[in-house]
Amino acid sequence: MKARVFVTLKSGVLDPQGKAIHHALGALGFAGVNDVRAGKLIELDLADGTSEADIEDMCKKLLANTVIENFRVERDAA
Amino acid sequence: MNSAVIVFPGSNCDRDLKVAIEAVTGRAPAMVWHRDTELPAGTGLIAIPGGFSYGDYLRSGAMAARSPIMQAVVEAAGKGVPVLGICNGFQVLTETGLLPGALMRNAGLHFVCRSVGLTVESSQSIFTSAYSAGEEIVIPVAHHDGNYQANRETLDRLEGEGRVAFRYRDAVNGSARSIAGILNDAGNVLGMMPHPERALEAAHGGTDGRRLFEGLLEAVA
């Protein structure tokens, strides 16, 4: 079973990396980019039957720092 | 005083910290490996050094905070043992939850490596008792992720409770309210981005870091 964990900065948290990407896109001539936020995608290959609660626990204990980050989990249909 | 320096794979200020502690206390600290599960009996000071533990994978300090030895550190901190986290050590302390907030990428995106002016905000802690409140000191910084952030309530609480230990005098990394170092609510845990162990002797270019260790020795001896 596979799960994808998307870790993103909470809204309101300054994102210097997103800002740098935004600037670089502008420098490349891409107009109309209003904002950029950078995050992480973590792919997990899990034993079948791993519960949603277990994955959430993994996110809270390690994969995301919930002080500054949100997380969202997508599971592949088995 | 018996002290311990925690060593992670990727720590690189562990030996500097050892030299500093030994120079001031006269006793070499135990160097405790991240896989250990216990601190030496009678450890009266725990120091978490700078560096790039676990290559800064995932987030700075994130992996180190979950390493076996940190459970013993959290337990000791709960019992009042002083814990000093410098640079990566500060990041590890926020990741364990011993200190609030988080250290993010510097606002300017650059690695900042230079001596910076700090204001000692409070002399009412075991770490700052040898300074005077409001004193201006110069200590080097060397970090990429030193941009301290926390929500407004947390920042207000830190300020209201006198738990901001050091503040940058000029903009360094985008830290909220120019915070360079903070204390936990019990006052026995300090995290700071600047490196006092790199300002110990005149040959370092400054000695303003020495009093942190001297004050600590006096306070806990």
Q: How is chain A split into domains, by residue range?
A: 2-75
> Is residue B113 flagged as an active site residue?
no
pLDDT averaged over chain B? 96
Q: Which positions 80-99 of B are in contact with A (Cβ < 8 Å)?
A: 94-95
Q: Are B99 and B149 in contact (CB under 8 A)?
A: no
CATH of the domain at B32: 3.40.50.880
pLDDT > 70? residue B214 = yes
> Is residue B218 flagged as an active site residue?
no
How far apart CA B29 and CA B109 sit, in angstroms, is: 35
> Tens digits of per-residue pLDDT, B5-60?
999 999 999 999 999 999 999 999 999 999 999 999 999 999 999 999 999 999 99
Q: Are A60 and A66 in contact (CB under 8 A)?
A: yes
> Tens digits of per-residue pLDDT, A22-78?
999 999 999 999 999 999 999 999 999 999 999 999 999 999 999 999 999 999 865
pLDDT > 80? residue A5 = yes
- Which amino acid, B97? G
Q: What's residue B33's pLDDT?
A: 97
Q: A14 CB near a chain B CB, below 8 Å?
A: yes
pTM: 0.94
Q: A20 CB near a chain B CB, below 8 Å?
A: yes
Q: What's residue B100's pLDDT?
A: 98
Choosing among 1.10.10.60, 3.30.2290.10, 3.30.1280.10, 3.40.1280.10, the CATH entry for A2-75 is 3.30.1280.10
Q: How many domains does chain B have?
A: 1
Chain A CB contacts of B66 below 8 Å: 61-62
> Tens digits of per-residue pLDDT, B151-171?
999 999 999 999 999 999 999
Q: Which positions 148-207 of B are in contact with A (Cβ < 8 Å)?
A: 149-150, 174
**CA distances from residue A10 to A20, A68, B140, B141, B152 in whole angstroms, order as listed:** 18, 6, 31, 27, 14
Sheet hosting strand A2-9, strand order edge to edge: A40-45, A2-9, A69-75
- Domain range for residue B8? 3-220
- Which residue reads 């989990």 in tokens? A73
Q: What's residue A13's pLDDT?
A: 87
What count of other Cβ atoms lies within 10 Å of the Cβ of residue B54? 21
Q: What's residue A78's pLDDT?
A: 55
